Chain A
Amino acid sequence: MPDATGLELIAQGLREAEGESVVTDTLFFRERATLSVEPAHIRAVLAHLRARGYAFLASVHGVDYYPHEPRLGVCYELLDMANVERITVKVRVPSTAPELESVTPDAADGAGWPTANHQEREVYDMFGVVFRGHPDLRRILMPEDYEGHPQRRDFPIGGEPVIFTYNEHEALGSSE
């Protein structure tokens, strides 16, 4: 992992390259480095980090920070195989406008990350974050016509009621 100074240097390099407001926060916790960036610049940030050696995108996943806004977060785990260093890039989008640029396709501003294809679809399916420019954005794990985004914190967990003797009559009566 890049140590704390390394993380600050990377953040510094990013700010110089992309602009002052791009990096909102750096966090060095338990030997792991996290960069929080503005959602609008995600492609540029990943391209910059790729140039620095973090060429492997290990994981793209979503987090729901309910009830804090901006609520939906997307984390990109990057790995530098040559130096065995990992860095996490985190963006947060509000649930009122859950849109983000997709990093999957190759676009005018640089090469894409094909590995993010299914993973962004999963974030869309489970959290409702719409990835602009994704080649094939549809539900991947739930049925195509499912309503709702299951892994949001305010989505009920669902399931069947466990039938004990005290509630067996209502439970069975309603389902029969």
Chain B
Amino acid sequence: MSEYRRREQSITLAPFEQQLEDQLEAGGDEPTQELLTLNFGPHHPATHGVLRLLVTLQGEVVRDVKPIIGYVHTGIEKTAEDKSYWKVIPVIERMDYLAYYFNAMAYCSAVETLIDVEVPKRAQYLRVIHMELNRIVSHLVWLGTSALDLGAISMFWYCFREREKILDLFEMSSGQRMHTRYFQIGGVIEDIPRGFAEKLSGFLAEMPSRVDQYGDLLNSNEIVLQRLRGTCPLDAETLLSLGVTGPLLRAAGNPWDLRKAAPYSSYEDFDFKIPVGTQGDNYDRYACRLAEMYESVKIVQQALDGLPEGPHITEDRKVALPPRHELATSMEALIHHFKLVTEGMRVPPGEVYSPVESPRGELGCFVRSDGSSKPARVHMRDPSFVNLQATSPMVKGAYIADMIATLAMLDPILGGIDR
């Protein structure tokens, strides 16, 4: 044990209530500390998006925190009611703006369930590839910005370097870096181009060593350990009662993951592990997400190796656009194309709630259709919206700096929270 550590251990601090009492006794009738309510945000460099927090402080200790949201409320769900089913996809993608494929996946799987159309195997594998790559992107941005919050500013550049590589892959397959409109109802919009598989293999070969580098930089770093180890833990029962899912719940020890529990889109074909934490503090949340990046790389490798041949979208012409060469020869194809583009597809009436496992937890999409070509209600159950309720129990009694670290580890995405 170093000299520094030995000196630290000789100082004992009484719990806060005891300290307050001592101060009151020492100071006579005047309390020397009072509660101060401070407004964090909505414009603040440390919040992940426009989150406003009303923090009640006693000295530097947080006694209560109230999140106030709605500063980026876009009325996505209302806009979605006004558009035909496939036109909703670009709108709904912009909700949780770091996990855009997951938004589209939840919505598309809900509508596919309503229409009762089957997604071809190749499309399912392509969806898994893109979703897991998006999970890596989301975790990279989280890691970069969280390290930035903690003060490890160089991590930002390393994480965004990897992110650029993955966005190059997305650009190759769909033409856009973010919000790609790649997932469509019934499959994916286009097959992957030539060269995608090679570039992806090259990326997958080097990604684990990059994650090793991030681990080397942060895992045993004294400052990271001091700030994250043991700060703001919350047990799994409280998290479950608050509705929290995703890496936060897994860090607390509960291995709930929809990819394993209720597999969708061929996840049952892949062999991967679920990283689970032990203490539920900030360090476990960080470690879980870091480990998830390795697992996502494994899944993408397996999906790429086992990519089956076949159509990339359903053959049902009432749901998916026919390929363009058919338009010149087949009258039915032309009519289907016309109907799909002008009016959209007709969906039988019903209500479906369809969840997927996004990088932040359970992302569910509720679609109600009334038989017309526009959805009657689209609601996204966003994981960050529900996870935000866990902020208050987590940071009660911790310092402000711990609150900032906890917010970083919570990974809230305000686009998803406010929709």
Any A–B CB pair closer than 8 Å: yes
**Closest Cβ–Cβ distance, residue B214 to chain A (whole Å):** 31
Contact present for A143 and B70 (CB under 8 Å) = yes
Contact present for B243 and A84 (CB under 8 Å) = no
Known contacts A64-B377, A114-B242, then 12 further A-B pairs from the complex at CB < 8 Å, ordered by chain A residue: A32-B353, A34-B351, A61-B381, A62-B379, A75-B366, A77-B364, A81-B261, A88-B351, A113-B241, A115-B242, A141-B70, A141-B419
By beta carbon, the residue of chain B nearest A111 is: B241
Q: Mark B150-181, 1 if CB is under 8 A from A, else 0.
A: 00000000000000000000000000000000
Contact present for A63 and B389 (CB under 8 Å) = no
B-to-A contact residues, CB < 8 Å: 69-70, 73, 75, 77-79, 81-82, 113-114, 116, 240-244, 256, 261-262, 350-353, 355, 362, 364, 366, 368, 376-377, 379, 381, 385-386, 388-389, 418-419
The answer to whether residues A59 and B389 also contact, given A30-B114, A114-B242, A157-B78 and a CB cut-off of 8 A, is: no
Set of chain B residues within 8 Å of A157, measured between Cβ atoms:
75, 78-79, 81-82
Contact present for B256 and A59 (CB under 8 Å) = no
The answer to whether residues A151 and B355 also contact, given A115-B242, A117-B389 and a CB cut-off of 8 A, is: no
Contact present for B381 and A150 (CB under 8 Å) = no
B70, B243, B351, B353: the one contacting A142 at CB < 8 Å is: B70
**Closest Cβ–Cβ distance, residue A35 to chain B (whole Å):** 13
Task: Give the CA-CA distance A115 to B244 in the complex, in Å.
Answer: 8
**Closest Cβ–Cβ distance, residue B404 to chain A (whole Å):** 21
**Closest Cβ–Cβ distance, residue B360 to chain A (whole Å):** 14
Contact present for B256 and A88 (CB under 8 Å) = no
By beta carbon, the residue of chain A nearest B364 is: A59
Main secondary structure of the interface of B (DSSP, over half): mixed
The answer to whether residues A84 and B261 also contact, given A142-B73, A157-B78 and a CB cut-off of 8 A, is: yes
Contact present for B243 and A57 (CB under 8 Å) = yes
| Complex interface residues of chain A between 41 and 63 (CB less than 8 A to chain B) | 55-59, 61-63
Set of chain B residues within 8 Å of A81, measured between Cβ atoms:
256, 261
Task: Give the CA-CA distance A58 to B242 in the complex, in Å.
Answer: 10
How many cross-chain pairs have Cβ atoms below 8 Å apart between A and B? 97
Set of chain B residues within 8 Å of A88, measured between Cβ atoms:
351, 353
Most buried by A among B70, B79, B81, B116: B70
Set of chain A residues within 8 Å of B381, measured between Cβ atoms:
58-59, 61, 77
Set of chain A residues within 8 Å of B368, measured between Cβ atoms:
63
Would you call A95 an interface residue if the criterion is a C-beta within 8 Å of the partner chain's C-beta atoms? no
The answer to whether residues A30 and B113 also contact, given A114-B241, A114-B242, A141-B70 and a CB cut-off of 8 A, is: yes
Task: Give the CA-CA distance A155 to B82 in the complex, in Å.
Answer: 12
Would you call A29 an interface residue if the criterion is a C-beta within 8 Å of the partner chain's C-beta atoms? yes
Set of chain A residues within 8 Å of B353, measured between Cβ atoms:
32, 59, 75, 77, 86, 88
Would you call A26 an interface residue if the criterion is a C-beta within 8 Å of the partner chain's C-beta atoms? no
**Closest Cβ–Cβ distance, residue A123 to chain B (whole Å):** 10
Set of chain B residues within 8 Å of A77, measured between Cβ atoms:
353, 364, 366, 381
**Closest Cβ–Cβ distance, residue A13 to chain B (whole Å):** 22
Would you call A140 an interface residue if the criterion is a C-beta within 8 Å of the partner chain's C-beta atoms? yes
